[in-house]
Amino acid sequence: MRLFEVGERLPPHHPNCFGCGPRNESGLHLRCHMTEEGVAGSVRLERRHEGGPGVAHGGIVAAVLDDVLGYLLYRLGVPMVTARLEVDYRRPVPLELDFGAAARILSQEGRKVWAEAELEREGTVHAQARGLFVRVDPAHWVRASAAARESIESWTRAGGEGEAGPGPVGP
């Protein structure tokens, strides 16, 4: 997997990813880019993501934070999976508004990566997360499900054409 430059748009994890996949009609369609400290992006949650009246469901907010944290794999150049995610909900997240999401690595030890993320609008933090992520071999998804083969092959080729992203990230 190639490493990306600061400011460069990052490809989705795979085309059908709930958090960032362009083919997932129910998804969040999070878009991220590399920053000096980590990764950042933007998201607009729609009516289909509603929990309480006019606000995003807490599980959807957690999914946004988990996905922006997942984008840190492009900073490290290796795939990771979430082992633990703790979310602090500070304020409701209204629907149909643009929010910023950012993540950064706190520390690393062996295969373990600790990181944090936040979801904000106009300088006000609405939710924060801290998580533990574990580096894995891409074959992890193939072992988990034979149906994942197409997705992992697409992910390792990401960036070549169309929806996959701006440039090659595969071996």
Which positions are annotated as active-site residues?
66
* Sign of the four-CA dihedral 74, 122, 66, 152: negative
C-alpha 65/C-alpha 129 separation (Å) is 6
Cα angle for residues 28, 119, 51 (degrees, 5° grid): 55
C-alpha 71/C-alpha 131 separation (Å) is 13
C-alpha 64/C-alpha 72 separation (Å) is 13
